[in-house]
Amino acid sequence: MKEPELLEIGENIIKNSDSKYRTTVKLAQQAKITKLEELYTSKMNSYLKPLINEMVIYDKKSHNLKNKEN
């Protein structure tokens, strides 16, 4: 994934969130959990860093929810 795409995803997540702080903390916590799970299971799910990976997952989930609503 290219850097401009990641920046756009990050900006959209923050812009569309009700609470910027809460969303940022939630993504960071989920990234930490994912990283710990990977350490304990000895598997690497992604070539992306955990926080970036969580941003991409969050973005995909929010797009899926919007599509279901329409």
* 9, 27, 63, 66, 67 from 70: Cα distances, Å: 21, 26, 11, 7, 5
pLDDT tens per residue across span 29-42: 888 888 888 777 76
| pLDDT for the residue numbered 11 | 85
At 45 the pLDDT is 58
For the chain, the C-alpha Rg in angstroms (whole number) is 13
Mean pLDDT over 6-16 rounds to 84
Alpha carbon 25 to chain centroid, angstroms: 11
Q: Is the dihedral of CA 8, 10, 15, 17 positive or negative?
A: positive
- Domain positions in the chain are 3-69
Q: What is the pLDDT of residue 46?
A: 59
